[in-house]
Amino acid sequence: MKKVLGLVLAVVLCAAVFAGCSSQTNSVEKIKKAGEIVLLTNAQFPPYEYLGDDNNPAGVDIEIAQKIADELGVKLTVVDMDFDGLIPALNGGKGDFVAAGFTITEERKKSVDFSDPYATSTQMVIVTKEGPKVAEASVDALAGKTVGVQLGTTGDLFVTDEVEGATVKTYKSAIEAGMDLANGRLDAVVVDQLPAQSIVASNDKLMVYDEVLTTEQYAMAVKKGDTALLEVINKVLGEMKDGMTDLTQKHFDAYSGTPAA
């Protein structure tokens, strides 16, 4: 009798341990249980994420994230933080995914997994309208100049790695860099296409060259190996694909209508 009881107990214990394990490895089950999914972003990147009228994060990525939360039947919590802290925060368990106009790069692939791409972007060059100190959007024209970028972005990496003799000034946001450029403290700002156009649209002194420096793709990021959540994200991205242009335009207009902070 004792033996049988012991066996039953062992089986029950094992089952409990297993259940515990599998619910830990399945991020989606955990999110559903918590009733909340946490998005990590940097809301200084219109139209993908910016602070809306009510000072709450708004934008293309926020709307996609809301759809992901809806798909899971949970509440969306947005954590607005420094861009260069996003990957450490994700891997440190501070959130479930990153959506931040986040470019797929080989380097980042070493520490996170990316979803399907949902947007194509380019790096562009912002200058002042009056007496621009950089003559065109090219590596040669940027050489030796003082260039503003957002810390840790692909624009930062590009100017730092590719442009000869540039003084790279890093900012917490490209919007701030744009203000310094307008105030004569920089020769140019290098930033992604739509943020560049948004910044210029809300600052009379600035313009952006049509030529581009590089082309890249945006995707959302999850912790390495988090395939359960990645599947949900890819499903939602697939469903939203046809509406992406309109969604992007809507937020571009919404931001440009708001005076620069």
Contact residues for ligand ARG, defined by CB under 6 A? 41-42, 44-45, 49, 83, 100-103, 150, 153-154, 192
**CA of 199: how far to CAs of 30, 115, 126, 148, 167, in Å?**
39, 27, 9, 13, 22
Closer CB to ligand ARG, 124 or 166, in the complex = 124
51 Cβ neighbours under 8 A, 6+ residues apart: 43, 57, 58, 80, 261
SS3 call for 79: strand
Task: Give min distance, CB of 129 to ligand ARG, in A.
Answer: 24
Closer CB to ligand ARG, 196 or 230, in the complex = 196
Q: Are strands 36-41 and 75-80 parallel, antiparallel or unpaired?
A: parallel
Token pair for residue 261?
């902070």
Task: Give min distance, CB of 31 to ligand ARG, in A.
Answer: 22
**CA of 173: how far to CAs of 8, 12, 92, 152, 183, in Å?**
60, 54, 23, 10, 16
- The DSSP H or E segment spanning 183 is none
Closer CB to ligand ARG, 28 or 186, in the complex = 186
Closer CB to ligand ARG, 28 or 40, in the complex = 40
Rounded CA-CA distance 23/183 in Å is: 54
Closer CB to ligand ARG, 103 or 197, in the complex = 103
Task: Give min distance, CB of 243 to ligand ARG, in A.
Answer: 21
Q: Which of 38, 43, 76 is nearest to 60 (CA)?
A: 43
Closer CB to ligand ARG, 23 or 258, in the complex = 258
Token pair for residue 116?
């399907």
Placement of tokens 């972007």 in the chain = 121
Closer CB to ligand ARG, 28 or 191, in the complex = 191
Task: Give min distance, CB of 151 to ligand ARG, in A.
Answer: 10
Task: Give min distance, CB of 108 to ligand ARG, in A.
Answer: 8
**CA of 238: how far to CAs of 9, 224, 226, in Å?**
46, 21, 18
Task: Give min distance, CB of 41 to ligand ARG, in A.
Answer: 6
Task: Give min distance, CB of 223 to ligand ARG, in A.
Answer: 18
